Amino acid sequence: MTGLPTQDRGKQRVVGIIAFIVFLVLAPAICLIADGNSRTVLLEERLSDSGIKGVAVIVDGEEKLVLKSRAEAENLITWLKTVYPAEPDAVVGFKETVELTEVIISGREAVDFDTAKSLIQPLVTVTFSFRVAVREEVPFLVEVRKDSQLPRGEQKVVRKGAPGEKIVTYQVTGENGLETGRVAVAEEMVQEVVPAVVTRGSQVMLASRGSVVRLYQPVPGGVISPYGWRDGRMHEGVDLAAGVGSPVVAAAGGTVTNTGWEDGYGKIVEISHGGGLVTRYAHLSSIKVSVGQAVSERELIGLAGATGNASGPHLHFEVIVNGRQRNPAGYIF
Question: 230-260: per-residue pLDDT in tens?
Answer: 888 889 999 999 999 999 999 999 999 999 9
Q: In whole angstroms, what separates CA 184 from the centre of its chain?
A: 13
Instruction: Provide mean pLDDT across the span 180-203.
Output: 89
Q: Does the pLDDT value for residue 148 go beyond 70?
A: no
Confidence of residue 207 (pLDDT cuts 50, 70, 90): very low
Integer CA distances (angstroms), 149 to 45, 152, 241, 278, 299, in order: 103, 9, 34, 21, 20
What percentage of the chain's residues is helix, strand, coil (to nearest 5)? Answer: 20, 45, 30
Q: What is the pLDDT of residue 202?
A: 62
Q: Does the pLDDT value for residue 75 go beyond 70?
A: yes
**Higher-confidence residue: 253 or 7?**
253
Task: Name, in order, each residue with C-beta under 8 angstroms of 136's C-beta and a sequence gap of 6 or more.
Answer: 165, 166, 167, 168
Q: What is the pLDDT of residue 9?
A: 60
Percentage above 70 pLDDT, the chain: 78
Q: Domain locations in the chain?
A: 53-124, 131-200, 223-330
Percentage above 90 pLDDT, the chain: 62
Q: What's the chain's average pLDDT?
A: 84
Q: Is the dihedral of CA 227, 230, 232, 237 positive or negative?
A: negative
Q: Does the pLDDT value for residue 161 go beyond 60?
A: yes
Q: Which CATH class is domain 223-330?
A: mainly beta
Instruction: Provide mean pLDDT across the span 301-312.
Output: 94
Task: Name, in order, each residue with C-beta under 8 angstroms of 226's C-beta and a sequence gap of 6 or more.
Answer: 235, 238, 329
Q: What is the pLDDT of residue 64?
A: 94
Specify the amino acid at residue 255.
T
Instruction: Provide mean pLDDT across the span 227-231.
Output: 85
Query: For 9-68, how does the pLDDT look when each residue is reduced to its tens digit (9 = 90+)?
Result: 666 666 566 666 655 666 555 544 445 454 444 444 444 444 578 999 999 999 999 999
Q: What is the pLDDT of residue 333?
A: 64
Q: Does the pLDDT value for residue 84 go beyond 70?
A: yes
pTM of the model: 0.45
Instruction: Provide mean pLDDT across the span 206-230.
Output: 77
Q: What is the pLDDT of residue 1?
A: 43
Q: Is the dihedral of CA 187, 193, 195, 196 positive or negative?
A: negative
Confidence of residue 275 (pLDDT cuts 50, 70, 90): confident
Q: What is the pLDDT of residue 73?
A: 95
Q: How many other CB atoms are there within 10 angstroms of residue 52's CB atom?
A: 16
Task: Name, in order, each residue with C-beta under 8 angstroms of 276's C-beta and a sequence gap of 6 or more.
Answer: 207, 321, 322, 323
Q: Does the pLDDT value for residue 205 go beyond 80?
A: no
Q: Which CATH class is domain 131-200?
A: mainly beta
**Higher-confidence residue: 214 or 243?**
243
Instruction: Provide mean pLDDT across the span 183-207.
Output: 82
